[in-house]
């Protein structure tokens, strides 16, 4: 797991996030139900993981391609499939579909990923301050996403016009995010990467 440095300022008197904003971030056209929500959450976290891998690749001076990001997350994606009892089909196509569907909000899912990785006790309720910090981090990741480029990409990986943003009226705590790049294990795993043929994921 790559190291992240995250500094969130705690300030008093900040405006509360309207309930409508939080609802917009969580709304989905999928049918209600625990299984459906779990499935959506897993797919969102898959997109968040891909974005974090893209950021790590870029911070390490590597070409930030979605193919490499998926390769780096192979173990994570397998665990995601297992946790869904096979409701995510095996193979990279299903991972790519999750990325395509959730790319516009991947920065907010990535912020949640970092929070989960940094929380020792996952049973601890998320406080209002923690929600604000996650949204602030997601906002910072959303600024980074459009800067990610791949030499072989035909179009931007994360087009800024497609990324979800928070209303300007929402005040967030200060947040500085730094990614220290790939760790040694990830660098070793990246060496086993083989670029797919151009037509492999066409159609």
- At 84-113, the pLDDT tens digits run 555 555 567 888 888 999 999 999 999 988
Question: Using N-to-C axis directions, what is the helix angle for 128-144 and 34-59, rounded to 10°?
Answer: 50
pLDDT the model gives residue 108: 95
pLDDT at 121: 56
Tell me how far apart the alpha carbons of residues 129 and 157 are, in angstroms, rounded to a whole number.
31
**122 or 202, greater pLDDT:** 122
Q: At CA 22, angle to CA 17 and CA 26, rounded to 5? A: 170
pLDDT score, position 144: 93
The answer to whether 72 and 186 are in contact (CB under 8 A) is yes
pLDDT at res. 201: 46
Interacting residues of 149 by C-beta distance below 8 A, sequence separation 6+: 58, 64, 156, 157
Mean per-residue pLDDT, 59-70: 94
pLDDT at 27: 53
Residue from 115, 41, 112 nearest 83 by CA:
41
Q: What pLDDT, in 10s, does the model give residues 3-38?
A: 445 444 434 433 344 445 445 445 545 444 556 667
Q: For the chain, give the percent of residues with pLDDT over 70.
A: 68
The contacts of residue 116 (CB under 8 Å, 6+ apart) are 122
Instruction: Report pLDDT for 14.
Output: 39
- Around Cβ 39, how many Cβ atoms within 10 Å? 18
Q: What is the pLDDT of residues 29-60, one digit of tens each?
A: 544 455 666 778 888 888 999 999 999 999 99
131 vs 165, which has greater pLDDT? 165
pLDDT at 80: 64
Residue 127: its pLDDT value, please?
A: 74
Q: What is the mean pLDDT of residues 138-160?
A: 91
**What is the per-residue pLDDT for 163?**
95
What is d(CA 189, CA 137) in angstroms, rounded to the nearest whole number?
Answer: 28
């Amino acid at each position: 797991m790559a190291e992240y440095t995250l500094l969130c300022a705690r300030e008093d008197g900040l405006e509360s996030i309207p309930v409508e904003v939080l609802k917009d971030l969580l709304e989905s056209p999928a049918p209600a139900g625990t299984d459906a929500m779990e499935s959506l959450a897993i797919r969102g976290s898959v997109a968040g993981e891909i974005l974090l891998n893209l950021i790590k690749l870029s911070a390490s001076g590597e070409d930030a391609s979605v193919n490499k990001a998926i390769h780096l997350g192979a173990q994570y994606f397998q665990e995601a499939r297992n946790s869904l009892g096979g409701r995510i089909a095996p193979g990279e196509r299903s991972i790519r579909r999750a990325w395509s569907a959730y790319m516009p909000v991947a920065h907010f899912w990535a912020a949640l990923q970092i929070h989960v990785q940094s929380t020792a006790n996952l049973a601890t309720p998320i406080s209002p301050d923690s929600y604000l910090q996650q949204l602030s981090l997601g906002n910072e990741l959303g600024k980074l996403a459009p800067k990610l480029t791949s030499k072989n990409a035909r179009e931007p990986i994360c087009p800024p016009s497609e990324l979800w943003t928070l209303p300007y009226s929402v005040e967030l705590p200060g947040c500085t995010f730094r990614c220290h790049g790939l760790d040694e294990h990830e660098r070793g795993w990246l060496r086993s990467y083989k670029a797919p043929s151009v037509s492999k994921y066409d159609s």
